C-alpha cells in the first residue's frame, strides 16, 4: 500500500527562519528549502546536518511536518545531543538539509474515514498526510496521545484543517486517561465503517498495539517507522526492520529507502 517515490533528492544549504518551543521539549523549526518543498509527499523526511563544528558527523532524520510555498517545517522532540543542539540554533543559523527521502503514505479516496494515530512526536510524521487527506475531502479523525498536557502536540494544527481530534494522555491531565490506542479501539468498535484506513506513527509499543487493533478489526493500517539512521541513502543498513514478504518468508528492509511507511501487518514485530 505505501507508495514508492523516485523523485529527486536535494542537499540544500539553508538558514533557520524560526526554531521555537511549541510544547515541553518539542520545537518547530522552519526553513526555506524550495526544491524539497516542491517535491515533498506525506510521510517523507529530511536528513539534517546539525553542526559540522561539534564532531557530530551523522545527520538526524525528521519528517517534513508542513510545506508552505518554499518553506518546510519540522516538529521535533529533544531526545539526545543532536536534537538538543538543534533546539539551541537561532534564527539565521545555517543548516544543511537533504531530502525529500523515503516512500510515502498511500491515500486512496475510497478509504474513508482516515484515522490518524500519533503518539508523542509521532504526530509530526502525520501532519502533511492530514493536510493531503483534507485536501481530498476525506473525513479524518486525529487521535493524539501524549504523556501529559504540556507535551501535547499539533491539536490546533489538526483542528484548523477540519479534523476532529481525540486526545489521550498517560496521566489524564487532558483528554482520555490512558493510551491513544484505547481511543482507537473504542472508535472502531463504536462505528462500523465500510472502508476505514489507519495511519500511525509513534513509539514501538504503540505501533504494535495499533497493529493488533488493526488486525482484530480487519482494518488496513499504514505506519511510519522511526528507526535510528546512519546514511539515510540505503547504503549502511543501519536502519533495517524485519518485514514479512510471504507467510513464511521474512527479510530486512531499509526504513530509509523501502520505508519509512510500511503496512502494519507486514512488519515482523516479534523479531525486533
Ligand X SMILES: Cc1cc2nc3c(=O)[nH]c(=O)nc-3n(C[C@H](O)[C@H](O)[C@H](O)COP(=O)(O)OP(=O)(O)OC[C@H]3O[C@@H](n4cnc5c(N)ncnc54)[C@H](O)[C@@H]3O)c2cc1C
Which residues inside 206-265 make contact with ligand FES, applying CB under 6 A? Answer: 229-232, 234-239, 254, 256
100 binds ligand X (CB under 6 A): no
Q: Which is nearer to ligand X, 156 or 215 (CB)?
A: 156
Cα gap 104→160, rounded to integer Å: 23
Residues present in the chain in total: 272
36 binds ligand FES (CB under 6 A): no
Q: How far is CA 142 from CA 44, 181, 200, 238, in A?
A: 19, 12, 10, 31
Cα gap 65→213, rounded to integer Å: 26
Q: Which is nearer to ligand X, 79 or 164 (CB)?
A: 79
Contact (CB, 8 A) for 230 and 60: no
Residue 125 site contact among ligand X, ligand FES, none (CB < 5 to 8 Å, cut-off depends on kind): ligand X
61 binds ligand X (CB under 6 A): yes
Q: Which is nearer to ligand X, 45 or 199 (CB)?
A: 45
User: Is the backbone peptide bond immediately before 186 cis, with ω within 30 degrees of 0?
Assistant: no
Count helices and strands in the chain by DSSP H and E runs: 6, 16
Among 62, 105, 199, 262, binds ligand X (CB under 6 A): 62
Query: Which residues, including other chains, have CB under 8 Å from residue 217's CB and lie 6 or more apart?
Result: 185, 188, 189
Which residues inside 163-192 make contact with ligand X, applying CB under 6 A? Answer: none
In whole angstroms, how close is the CB of 3 to ligand X at the nearest point?
A: 15
125 binds ligand X (CB under 6 A): yes
Cα gap 220→244, rounded to integer Å: 16
Residue 42 site contact among ligand X, ligand FES, none (CB < 5 to 8 Å, cut-off depends on kind): none
Question: Distance from CA of residue 140 to its chain's centroid?
Answer: 16
Q: Which is nearer to ligand FES, 178 or 230 (CB)?
A: 230
Which residues inside 197-226 make contact with ligand X, applying CB under 6 A? Answer: 226
Residue 234 site contact among ligand FES, ligand X, none (CB < 5 to 8 Å, cut-off depends on kind): ligand FES
Contact (CB, 8 A) for 222 and 214: no
Cα torsion 237, 243, 246, 247: sign: positive
60 binds ligand X (CB under 6 A): yes
- Contact residues for ligand FES (CB under 6 A)? 229-232, 234-239, 254, 256
What does the binding site for ligand X look like in residue numbers (CB under 6 A)? 45, 60-63, 74-77, 79-83, 121, 124-125, 226-229, 255, 260
Amino acid at each position: 500500500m505505501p507508495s514508492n517515490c523516485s523523485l529527486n533528492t536535494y542537499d540544500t544549504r539553508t538558514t533557520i527562519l524560526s526554531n521555537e518551543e511549541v510544547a515541553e521539549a518539542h520545537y518547530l523549526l522552519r526553513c526555506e528549502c524550495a526544491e524539497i518543498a516542491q517535491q515533498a509527499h506525506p510521510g517523507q523526511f529530511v536528513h539534517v546536518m546539525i553542526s559540522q563544528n561539534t564532531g557530530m558527523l551523522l545527520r538526524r532524520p525528521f519528517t517534513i511536518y508542513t510545506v508552505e510555498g518554499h518553506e518546510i517545517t519540522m516538529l521535533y522532540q529533544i531526545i539526545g545531543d543532536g536534537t538538543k543542539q538543534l533546539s539551541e540554533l537561532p534564527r539565521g543559523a545555517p543548516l544543511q538539509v537533504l531530502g525529500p527521502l523515503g516512500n510515502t503514505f498511500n491515500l486512496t479516496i475510497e478509504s474513508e474515514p482516515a484515522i490518524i494515530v500519533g503518539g508523542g512526536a509521532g504526530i509530526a510524521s502525520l501532519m502533511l498526510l492530514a493536510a493531503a487527506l483534507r485536501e481530498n475531502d476525506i473525513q479524518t479523525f486525529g487521535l493524539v496521545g501524549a504523556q501529559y498536557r504540556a507535551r501535547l502536540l499539533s491539536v490546533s494544527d489538526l483542528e484548523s484543517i477540519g479534523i476532529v481530534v481525540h486526545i489521550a494522555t498517560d496521566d489524564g491531565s487532558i483528554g482520555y486517561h490512558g493510551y491513544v490506542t484505547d481511543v482507537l479501539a473504542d472508535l472502531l468498535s463504536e462505528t462500523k465503517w465500510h472502508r476505514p484506513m489507519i495511519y500511525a506513527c509513534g513509539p514501538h509499543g504503540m505501533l504494535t498495539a495499533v497493529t493488533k487493533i488493526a488486525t482484530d478489526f480487519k482494518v488496513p493500517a499504514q505506519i511510519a517507522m522511526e528507526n535510528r539512521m546512519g546514511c539515510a541513502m540505503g547504503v549502511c543498513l543501519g536502519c533495517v526492520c524485519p518485514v514479512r514478504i510471504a507467510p513464511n518468508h521474512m527479510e530486512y528492509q531499509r526504513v530509509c529507502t523501502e520505508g519509512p511507511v510500511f503496512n502494519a501487518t507486514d512488519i515482523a514485530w516479534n523479531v525486533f
